[in-house]
Amino acid sequence: MDWVTCAYSAACTGIASKPSGLCLAHLSPEQLPEALDQMSPGRLIDLRGTTVTSDLLARVLEATGGRPGRARLDRARFTGDVRLPGVTFAGDVSLDGARFDRLASFFGARFEGNVSLAGARFARELSFHGVTVRGHVSLDRAVMARDALFSQAVFGHGLSCERARFDGYATFDGARLGDGAAFRGARFGRTLSFRKVSGHAGFEAAHFAADAYLSATGRLSAARARADGLLDVAVARCGVDLRRVEVAGATSLKLTDSQADLEGAVLRGPATVSGRGTSTLTSLRQVEANDLALRGLDLSACRFAGLAHPAAVRVKDCTFALTTRGMRVSLRRPMLRWFSRRSALADEHGMGGSATGDPGATPDRLAALYAGLRPSDRATSADFAFAAMEMRRRAGHRWWLSVSWLLYGYGMRRGRAVAWFAVLAAIAAAAVLWSSSGHSAATHR
């Protein structure tokens, strides 16, 4: 502690006041009014390490006219209910390491500066419902043993809850996050409701022990997070980072004109990723999912290399990349090749061993992906079946695949077979004509 402690006893950590050398809690009934008279609106109040009862808190707020200035309350202990309706703190408020034995309700309070509650412990409910803070709020490493209510709160310069512990129900519905919120390494013991939140938020490496509902208007990240129950994410016009997330229950990801990345995710329960408007999925690399449905998404740039169970992925109303159409002449066999446009995975464009290509996008692995994935529409499904054979041919499997591709496109390009039939028919007709003309010339001789 960086203050002179109360002389009442060695156990008391309250800051000593002059000239008595006692903290506010241990002043005599005659000394306390004199100490309170020194307080006034807008001035500093210093109760560091002090045990604050409900009565003492009420008398301090009354002495400051409900408008204290800078408030230093580090390691203070509040033994009764804390209620601050109509109180405005004109300066920064520091409550680092404070303990709240009963209800801590900041409802109806206003903070003109920053608020720090780092390492604070709340034995009962905590309410920041509807509170407006013009500065930044810190709850880093704080422990909330019961419900924590932050709905409709306004954080002008953001909120930090890194490594905080929410043991009860936590709600941030309708909150406005200003510069954003950080929940890196936080733990949520019960349901988290983070719906219709304005601003971006990061839940990197967080642990959701129960269901979690996340919805924000800004960028949302839950990279490396772990969810033991349901994970429901809904965003609009922003990006979502779910790389290496691990979900034991069901997963629901709803995108509206947004972009999402699921690289390395482990989805043990049924999972659905759906999109509206222009919504894209950029990566499914190394994803493990036993039941994954993709609907209404732009997958033209999505990487699939390393997808553990492609047969477990159901694709509906999604768009993929398109191969180029045309003809190519090269010195390698086959010297002449022609290409028809078809749907393809983005991994195929990066194949070929280039420095920028994906090392996991080999012909063999792409063949397995194309064979396992089965889009709902017939055209794309046929293109993938064709692509699976094409990847096997490129991998050098069985010479007859090259012949099959050349003659009739693995049985899926009827036009090619018709073209060959027409060529053969033309050659046969020419041979007959040539033979007939030769025979007629010999007869005239």
What are the DSSP calls for 211-279, one per residue? Answer: -EEEEESS-EE-TT-EESS-EEEEEESSEEE-TT-EESS-EEEEEES-EEE-TT-EE-S-EEEEEESS-
342 pLDDT band, cuts 50/70/90, is confident
Tens digit of pLDDT for each residue in 74-111? 999 999 999 999 999 999 999 999 999 999 999 999 99
- Predicted confidence at residue 259, as pLDDT, reads 96
pLDDT at 354 over 70: no
* C-alpha to C-alpha distance for 44 and 307, rounded to whole angstroms: 60
What are the DSSP calls for 18-61, one per residue? Answer: TTT---GGGS-TTHHHHHHHT--TTS-EE-TT-EE-HHHHHHHH
- Predicted confidence at residue 18, as pLDDT, reads 85
Indicate the range of 17-31, 197-211, 398-412 predicted with least confidence: 398-412
- Predicted confidence at residue 396, as pLDDT, reads 63
pLDDT at 355 over 50: no
- Predicted confidence at residue 262, as pLDDT, reads 97
The ranges assigned to domains in the chain are 42-322, 399-440
- Predicted confidence at residue 96, as pLDDT, reads 97
Mean local confidence (pLDDT), 321-328: 63
- Predicted confidence at residue 373, as pLDDT, reads 86
Q: Which residue has the higher pLDDT, 65 or 326?
A: 65
- Predicted confidence at residue 364, as pLDDT, reads 77
> To which H or E segment does residue 414 belong?
helix 414-444
> Considering the chain, what is the average pLDDT of its residues?
86
* C-alpha to C-alpha distance for 215 and 208, rounded to whole angstroms: 15
Nearest to 136 by CA among 112, 114, 111: 114
232 pLDDT band, cuts 50/70/90, is very high
Residues near 208 by beta carbon (within 8 Å), at least 6 away in sequence: 188, 192, 225, 226, 227, 228, 229, 231
Q: Which residue has the higher pLDDT, 128 or 396?
A: 128
Q: Which residue has the higher pLDDT, 170 or 344?
A: 170
- Predicted confidence at residue 344, as pLDDT, reads 82
Indicate the range of 42-56, 185-199, 415-429 predicted with least confidence: 415-429
pLDDT at 413 over 70: no
Q: Which residue has the higher pLDDT, 362 or 180?
A: 180
In percent, the amount of the chain with pLDDT more than 70 equals 81
- Predicted confidence at residue 245, as pLDDT, reads 98
356 pLDDT band, cuts 50/70/90, is very low
pLDDT at 417 over 80: no
Instruction: Give first-to-last CA distance, the chain, whole Å.
Output: 126
Mean local confidence (pLDDT), 23-46: 93
Q: Which residue has the higher pLDDT, 321 or 387?
A: 321
With tokens 């899926």, the residue in question is 412
**Whole-prediction pTM value?**
0.83
Residues near 153 by beta carbon (within 8 Å), at least 6 away in sequence: 128, 129, 130, 131, 132, 133, 172, 175, 176
* C-alpha to C-alpha distance for 407 and 442, rounded to whole angstroms: 38
255 pLDDT band, cuts 50/70/90, is very high
pLDDT at 420 over 60: no
Tens digit of pLDDT for each residue in 140-174? 999 999 999 999 999 999 999 999 999 999 999 99
Number of Cβ within 10 Å of residue 424's Cβ equals: 10
Mean local confidence (pLDDT), 12-19: 92
Q: For CA atoms 187, 193, 196, 198, give the dihedral sign.
A: negative
- Predicted confidence at residue 381, as pLDDT, reads 76
pLDDT at 445 over 70: no
Which range has highest mean pLDDT (185-189, 299-303, 391-395)? 185-189
444 pLDDT band, cuts 50/70/90, is low
